[in-house]
Each structure stands twice: as C-alpha cells, then as structure tokens.
Amino acid sequence: MQKVYLLCLLCFFGAVAGKAQLSKGGTPYSFGSDFRATDLAKMPLPTFAVPALDLPTLQREDAETVNADRFAAATAVSLQPNTHGLWQDLPTGEQMWRVQINLQGQVTGMRLLFDKFRLPEGGRLFIYSPDHQILLGAFTAHNNKPHLSFATTLLKNKTIILEYTVPAGKAHETLLHIHRIDQAYRTVGDMEKKGDKVGFGNSGSCNLDINCTTLANDWQEEKRCVVRIITVNGGGSSYCSGSLIGNTAQDRKPYILTAYHCRKGVSVSFLDFWTFDFNYEISDCNAPNAEPANTQNLTGATLKSEYLPSDFCLLELQDAVPNTFNAYWNSWNRLGQNVSGAVCIHHPSGDVKKFTRDTDMNSTTSYYDEQPNDNTHYRQVWNNGTTEGGSSGSPLFDSAGNIIGQLHGGEALCSAPNDPDWFGKVSASWVGGGTVETRLSDWLDPIGSGAFVLTSVQREKIQNPFKLYPNPAQKDLQLAYENSAWAGQTIEVRLYDQVGKLAYQTKQTLPTNTASKPLRLPALPVGLYVVQIVAQQGIFTQTLVVE
C-alpha cells in the first residue's frame, strides 16, 4: 500500500468521558439543610494536625540545588477512617465519615496523596475548605485504579475537610489511606533566576496572559492542549508544563509531551501521583487577581518513552480526558527545519496559562550551544513574554500551530529579555535512542504512515499568501503572492521528498512590479513533495505533485 507522508489531522475536541472523569460533581451531605437541622451537625469535628515543616532546612536545600523548583515538601502521615475522624449514621440510612486536616506554620496549602484508594459503588468522597470556597468531588468508584493510588491537586488552604458517605453495610469495603501530605511552603523563594515567587499571580510581570493579549487571539485552540503538571518525587511536589499531542491513528490517546528533566531521577511509581491541571487560566481580564477555579484535573500517568539528549518525555494519562474539559489534541511537525514566528504556551512558576512569541527565525543547536553541535534543540530568543521555572516541558509551536519541540531550559526571564531558551526538537526525539522506549515514532505514528507533518489543514496563524501553480507540475512553476507587501522580500523555497529528505532549495527575491515569480525546478523524481516557503512573517507549507 502506498504511504501518504503528509497527513491531515482533524481537530480533537474532547474524548469519551466514561470512567475517566476525575470528579462527578454534586454537593456534600453536610451542606444540606436536612443535616444542619439534626443533632449530628452539632458534634465537634475531629482534627488531624500535620507536623510543621522545618522551613530553614528546606530553604537551605533549595538554595543548594541548581534549578530547584520544589514548591511543596513531603510530610509522611497515616490517616484513615478506622483510626481518625468521626463516623455518623445518617437519616438516609447511609454512613458519613468526616475529618478536618490542619496545617501549621508558614505554609499556604496542601496536596493529599493516598497510597490506598478504593471506594465501593455508592461511596462518595468530597474534599473542601471550611468556607466552601474550595470543593473537589465527588470522587467515586469511577476513580478506582488497580494500583490503588490517588492524589489531589494543590488545595490552597491551611484547613481542609474530608467528607465520605457510603451506603449502609459497605463501609468495610472502603480503602482510604493518606500516607503523605505535601505542604506548600515556597510562596517566596529563589526559583534559580526564574522569578522569585511560585503559584497563582507570581510569574514575572512581562508574562502575557493567554486570554488578555491580542497576540494570542489566533491561538485559542492550541492553548487547550497545554496543561499544568504537578510532579511528585520523594521530597515533594514541583511544577512543569506539558501538552496533549495527537497521533496518526487519530484515536485520542491521552499522550502528554513534556520534558525528560521533569521526571529525571523520579521512580516511575511516583507518576501515579502526578496531577494534570487543564484550563488553568484567567477568564476575566478585568479581574486578574481572582484565581480561576482549578477543578479540571486528572491524576496518574504511565511512562511511554523518553530521551535525555533531546529532553523529551512522553506520558499517557491513566484516564481518558472528559468531554467537559474541552481539550485539544495538538498536531506536530518533525521536519526539523528552523522556523520564524514560533510560540510557546506554558505555566510559568505554576501560574495561569501564558503566551510567549518569537517573531524572528530560530536556530538549531545543542543544548546551551554546547559543542560539538548535535542539532537536537531549537534556540529561541523571545520578542514577547518569557519563560520561567514551571514552564519546562511546554510546547513550542511553529507558525502553523504544530508542535515542534518542548522546553528544556535556558536563561530567558523578564529582567533578561534577550537571553535564549532551548527546546528539544520533535525531529530529534522522533528516532531518539533508536528503541521504542527512547523515541516518539512508535507512539505518534502507530499506523506506520511515515508522516512528517500531522496538521489541521494548514491553519497558519498568518493566512498563506503564496500559491504554486500548476499543480501537478513538471519543471516550470509560478510562485504567486497575494499583495504588494511581499514585493522585494527575499524568501527561501524548500522541497522535501516523501522520506523527508531535502530535495531542492533556492533563495528568491520577489519582484516589485508583479505578483508572481517564475521558478524552474531541477529534474526530480515523480511523487509528492512538501514545499516550505520561508519568509520574514513565518513558514508557509503546501504540497506539490511532480509529474
């Protein structure tokens, strides 16, 4: 069967919800008037005091660790319904268990990590703050997993209540055990030149909110693929960024592309506790100080492949992405060519989603320009916005909206706007280390199409002003352009054959007295070619059939 090497990917607007939805919604029983009218509501709620953190020690550890980005430190605990909290028999015939968790000292929030989580049918777990401003749940049997692990996203309060209701006679079927609480302590600190605060509202002032800059108007689809990742290791929790990425089977596999260094040195078992926050972004630009709701989260991922030299890590979420998340599986481009007009969408310092743009041509280098050049990275210098700690793993898009890399690291920050960042190239990660466990190709091209570009029918952010005709062609072509703005500009025309090899390349200066330019191709084998036209405003792609 003849392979097609340039595929069109229909936009993925969500997935089958099924068992995957993290939270079922609803209201805790104790919120209702029926409960508040009973004597049960008057019974004092037992509290569980979490041991205070040794902040001086943590701050010394952070100061001594290069690129330290931990924001919450791990505290070992043992909390479960048969040893803590209050059980009550409800008028409904159900049983209810509640406990209040209190933090101490200068901390601002917590993550709850369960090493035992299994609920029977009908069981419902809610997690909320005393003022009800934070409310997660209901978590149900739909959240059960074979490995029994579960974790919450960051709960920004020093007091949290757990409320669990279960049908009569099923309490003994419940497994709930919190073995660790990560306490958020690092609201002020040194993120290794990447901003001095962590969390909502604390990224650098030069960052551009994804919904509050006209520069991002044409990037409202792609933003929906970007997630904030709360990573977990033995010492606590940290922030990274990542993106949903599509594959040639178009089967909505929940693959997340992020950075290898976000997982480096972390046991694979900790991935069960990683949390992925969708749509964590401001919706009202007139209220930038109002933190958005953070209730669209999924917990747990499985490692698929990773590769140190290009710093990529591909994960698969353990749950499908619910339709309610309005997610977007993004396309990709593995041609590996330098581009202009590149964009990064990310969560700097764990803040809400931000937008960064480079209007110039990037370059291909080693990480930090190390020699010899292994051509594994794009080097970017931003014109608008920046990146920070927590942006690691965020996608780099070409001007057509295709992912071409993920953030490895760099020196860019608000006070150094001309310093570069480096992104591991999808083209380098495609073959990676040559095995299934170290490359992208097996996962992003499971049907073996050999595609070099997986894209949504040419959705350049600048409408493609160029047209090649006739198409099909033999040798003589005309390159037409739409308006006089292109006259006098020097462009580069590149043709890639069906195996991605550069078959022809030429630079042309467009005439000022006409809207077309003749091109004469060398003798090329018959077949399908990908044509890239590189101009100051971006890279424009189309296909050409040579007869």
62, 272, 311, 445: which one is catalytic? 311
| Rounded Cα gap, residues 155 and 414, in angstroms | 28
Number of other residues whose CB lies within 10 A of the CB of residue 342: 25
> Which residue type occupies 462?
I
Number of other residues whose CB lies within 10 A of the CB of residue 227: 30
String of DSSP letters for 174-189? -EEEEEEEEEE--SBS
| Total length of the chain | 547
- 351, 358, 363, 410: which is closest to 384 by C-alpha? 358
Which residue has 């340039």 as its token pair? 6
Three-state DSSP at 371 gives coil
Supply φ then ψ for residue 42, to 5 degrees.
-85, -10
Number of other residues whose CB lies within 10 A of the CB of residue 510: 19
- 353, 338, 339: which is closest to 387 by C-alpha? 353
| Rounded Cα gap, residues 48 and 250, in angstroms | 47
Pair of tokens at residue 371: 């020699």
b (16+ CB within 10 A) / e for 256-286: bbbbbbbbeebeeebbbbbbbbbbbbbeeee
CA distances, 322 to each of 10, 12, 83, 243, 296 (Å):
18, 12, 35, 16, 9
Three-state DSSP at 463 gives coil
84, 177, 261, 346: which one is catalytic? 261
Three-state DSSP at 36 gives helix
Q: Secondary structure of the chain: what % helix, strand, coil (to 5)?
A: 15, 40, 45
Q: What ranges in 48-190 are assigned the alpha helix state H?
A: 55-64
First to last CA, the chain: 20
Pair of tokens at residue 118: 């299994």
CA distances, 415 to each of 69, 104, 205, 320 (Å):
19, 35, 10, 40
- 238, 267, 233, 240: which is closest to 256 by C-alpha? 240
Active site residue 392: yes
243, 392, 427, 456: which one is catalytic? 392
Which residue has 């692990």 as its token pair? 149
Pair of tokens at residue 502: 């550069």
Residue 132: DSSP 8-state: S
Active site residue 394: no
| Rounded Cα gap, residues 163 and 127, in angstroms | 6
Active site residue 132: no
Active site residue ranges: 261, 311, 392
